[in-house]
Amino acid sequence: MLAEFGFGMLLMAFFTGLFSIGAAVYGHFTKSIRWVESGRRALQLTFPLVSLAALSLIYELVTGHFELQYVYSVTSRAMPTYLKITALWGGQAGSLIFWSWLLSAFATAVTLRKWDRDREFLPWVVVVTAVTLSFFLSLSIFFENPFARWWQTLNGGLVMRMFAPAGGILFTPPDGQGLNELLRHPGMIFHPPMLYSGFVAFVIPYAFAMAALITGRVDDRWIRLTRRWALVAWLFLSVGLVLGMWWAYDVLGWGGYWGWDSSEVAALLPWLVATPFLHTIIIQEKRQMFKQLNMILIILTYVMVIVGTFLIRSGLLSSVHAFAQSTIGYQFIVFIIIMLLASIGLLIYRWKDLQSATPLTSTSLLSKEALFLLAALLFGGVFIVCFWGIFFPIISEVVTAQKITVGPEWYKQAVGPLFGTILLLMGIAPLSSWTYGTLKTIGRSGWKPAIPAFFVPLILFIVNVRNVFALIGFTLVAYVASVTVFEFWRGSAARSHSQHENIGRALWNLVARNRRRYGGYIIHIAMVMMALAIIGVEMFQTTTQQSLATGQSIQLSGYTIRYDALAQFPYNDGRMVTRAVVSVLKDGKNLGELYPRYDYYPDGQPMTIPAVRSTLAGDLYVVLVNWENNSVSQTPFKVYHNPLVIWLWIGSFVLIFGTLVAAWPEREPETAWESMKIMPVFSK
């Protein structure tokens, strides 16, 4: 019964969505506030409707209704309840419902606000979100129905339908297939919802951007209204990406966190256009420039959100996300093309209205405006590389009938210099001033923080680091960190002087009253930390693999890993656990024990669980390599030393903090006069 109810709710939500599109459009053209209002209410009604559908599905998952094909494919009796709930996004049909659920929630949240000043946007925000929502709901209803069930037919076959075929009786398998054990990890439980929240939240700024284009109100109002949405969406997206890395590092046991797998790159695509968008909208607000660019970036972000969802779900890519055999590829392509063409059409229609109040040519090449543009172009470069990396194999196959693929090395070589330059810009742009900037003005404000960075390569060279790229990388990291900290110091020192506050109070007020700017700088620090980790692992990872008998040891990067003991025992969920005890020693000191594991599940799925000893300087990552057919006297171990990798995780916490600072609602804004008094002025 509940399956029919859930499906009915989906249908109602779909028709409500369609109604809200019609009502909003009709209301706009007949200038009827009541119809627009009706469209808005209808959109809000989709939230309880989709919620009921999603909750029905969750109920079916938790109570083990295996007659539902989706429940059968992602859960099993042995799974704990929390995993059954999270199985909502464990497969394709469920994750589409989850997508719709998030979008209906976000659409409701944004339409609940007061619209007095922005009434002309309302119908179009309703239309764009409702069109997107209706598209995803239609996928669930017509192609990937999570409520479809197994039916036993008279000729002995088993079919999957929503409703009973003629003479068919409901078939309930005794148990489900269960979620792949590799996915039963906190990183994997929260990675999809975070990533999806990020994806879906970007629909809102896009909807406002389209509303601005349609209504012709192309000042920065749409940006001011959605800046916080974009920041929070970016935060979810970033955290989702990091959680995926953490899962890969913690579960897959190959010593890394990012393999340039096409699905990973697909999830990165929206991030690569959203990040410059967050920067260039600042310029539009402050200088009324880059209006065209911002429109292009938000359109690209939205399209990449849909493309990303499509790529991850379509089975187009050969990747670890093996959701092959999708039935919804063409629907996605058609939807993407329609939305892209509509957006581009609107953009061309308003192109002239989007011209900058201040021409770019009146600024110098090293002004803040130009440097932000440069950063956006470099992000665009990384985006092009990644996009090309995904689609080049497909294109080459169509054109030459010969499929060519690109792997991690290809990506690293192509994006490395671009990311390096972006890092450099993070150390220059904060020092530059509006409109006018030369090497001299930047040098004047930047020579002090450059001093510590100057010593970094010297010291590294003395301690025998000879890798040129590593020297450049570490120097850049040190420089950006130094510049960013200096910015905090400079601002609070100036404030402390002019407002007669002690330095701690001044720092607090400085950040509290310029949350966006200093929140951004905190995010820069986070990026520097992550860069540190990436350089550490990419340039200095060491690894060795040896088979040991108990008592023997492996030497790696100054560590001694001694194999002490091995135990094998069944665990209560049926898996057979093989657990080794190894001691880590350095300079004769025992640093503690590690327990790498090899779990073998009853369904034949083995899982290698690395044991990791983390310090700020580096991780020791010990893997008990495949245990089948091995003996206690000959146990193969693989050990990685991953320098600095922990800074990736520390950086992600700093990133969350920085984004929250930047997105926190401002208190009373400081008056122009006050901020002029306290901001040091460097431009002429």
Partner 1 sequence: MQPSPNTGMRGRGKFIVGGVLILAAVIYLIISSTRANAEYFMTVDELQAKGTSLVGQNVRISGAVAGSTIQFNASTNDLSFEIANVPGDNATITAQGGLAKVLHEAVVDPTRKRLMIVYNGPKPDLLRDEAQAIVTGHLGEDGVFHADELLLKCPTKYQEAVPSQASGN
Which residues, numbered 86-105, are part of the site for partner 1 (CB under 8 A)?
91
Alpha helices per DSSP H over 572-664: 646-663
Stretch that binds partner 1, among 169-177, 276-284, 332-340, 426-434 (CB under 8 A): 169-177
Comparison of 25 and 607: residue with beta carbon closer to partner 1: 607
CB 218 within 8 A of CB 353: yes
568 binds partner 1 (CB under 8 A): no
Give the closest residue to 597 by CA, choosing from 560, 571, 623: 623
Q: To the nearest whole angstrom, how small is the minimum distance from the Cβ of residue 388 to partner 1?
A: 6
Comparison of 624 and 661: residue with beta carbon closer to partner 1: 624
Q: Give me the 416-435 binding string for partner 1, x by CB under 8 A, dash otherwise.
A: -xx-----------------
171 binds partner 1 (CB under 8 A): yes
164 binds partner 1 (CB under 8 A): no
Angle between helix axes 203-215 and 186-201 (nearest 10 degrees) is 10
625 binds partner 1 (CB under 8 A): yes
Comparison of 77 and 119: residue with beta carbon closer to partner 1: 77
626 binds partner 1 (CB under 8 A): yes
Positions 43 through 72 that interact with partner 1 (CB under 8 A): 66, 69, 72
Comparison of 323 and 595: residue with beta carbon closer to partner 1: 323
Side chain identity, residue 20: S
Q: Which residue has the tokens 């420089």?
A: 479
403 binds partner 1 (CB under 8 A): yes
36 binds partner 1 (CB under 8 A): no
Comparison of 320 and 676: residue with beta carbon closer to partner 1: 320
Cα 32 to chain centroid, rounded: 40
Choose which of 147, 150, 310, 486 interacts with partner 1 (CB under 8 A).
Answer: 150
* Segment holding 28, helix H or strand E: helix 2-29
C-beta atoms surrounding 324 within 10 Å: 11
393 binds partner 1 (CB under 8 A): yes
C-alpha to C-alpha distance for 583 and 522, rounded to whole angstroms: 38
Q: How many residues bind partner 1 (CB under 8 A)?
A: 74
397 binds partner 1 (CB under 8 A): yes
C-alpha to C-alpha distance for 469 and 615, rounded to whole angstroms: 24
C-alpha to C-alpha distance for 104 and 126, rounded to whole angstroms: 11
73 binds partner 1 (CB under 8 A): yes
**DSSP letter string, 490-505:** HHHHHHHHHHT--HHH
Give the closest residue to 104 by CA, choosing from 22, 228, 27, 203: 203
Q: To the nearest whole angstrom, how small is the minimum distance from the Cβ of residue 291 to partner 1?
A: 12
173 binds partner 1 (CB under 8 A): yes
Comparison of 634 and 671: residue with beta carbon closer to partner 1: 634
CB 110 within 8 A of CB 133: no
Positions 483 through 542 that interact with partner 1 (CB under 8 A): none
Give the closest residue to 529 by CA, choosing from 560, 484, 491: 484
331 binds partner 1 (CB under 8 A): no
348 binds partner 1 (CB under 8 A): no
Choose which of 133, 281, 390, 607 interacts with partner 1 (CB under 8 A).
Answer: 607
Positions 174 through 233 that interact with partner 1 (CB under 8 A): 174, 177, 180, 182
450 binds partner 1 (CB under 8 A): no
550 binds partner 1 (CB under 8 A): no
Q: How far apart are the first and last CA of the chain?
A: 74
Q: What are 543's strand-pairing partners?
A: 640
DSSP-derived 3-state class of residue 599: strand
* Segment holding 585, helix H or strand E: strand 576-586
606 binds partner 1 (CB under 8 A): yes
Comparison of 320 and 334: residue with beta carbon closer to partner 1: 320
Comparison of 141 and 660: residue with beta carbon closer to partner 1: 141
Side chain identity, residue 390: I
Side chain identity, residue 628: E
Positions 240 through 269 that interact with partner 1 (CB under 8 A): 253
CB 307 within 8 A of CB 335: no
Positions 350 through 389 that interact with partner 1 (CB under 8 A): 355-356, 359-362, 365, 370, 374, 377-378, 381, 384-385, 388
Backbone angles phi, psi at 584, to 5 degrees: -105, 125
**DSSP letter string, 486-553:** HHHHHHHHHHHHHHT--HHHHHHHHHHHTHHHHHHHHHHHHHHHHHHHHHHHHHH-EEEEEEE-TT-E
Choose which of 33, 158, 170, 338 interacts with partner 1 (CB under 8 A).
Answer: 158
CB 597 within 8 A of CB 579: yes
608 binds partner 1 (CB under 8 A): yes
The token pair at 521 is: 């700088």
Q: To the nearest whole angstrom, how small is the minimum distance from the Cβ of residue 473 to partner 1?
A: 17
Choose which of 605, 614, 615, 683 interacts with partner 1 (CB under 8 A).
Answer: 605
347 binds partner 1 (CB under 8 A): no
Comparison of 174 and 665: residue with beta carbon closer to partner 1: 174
Q: To the nearest whole angstrom, how small is the minimum distance from the Cβ of residue 133 to partner 1?
A: 26
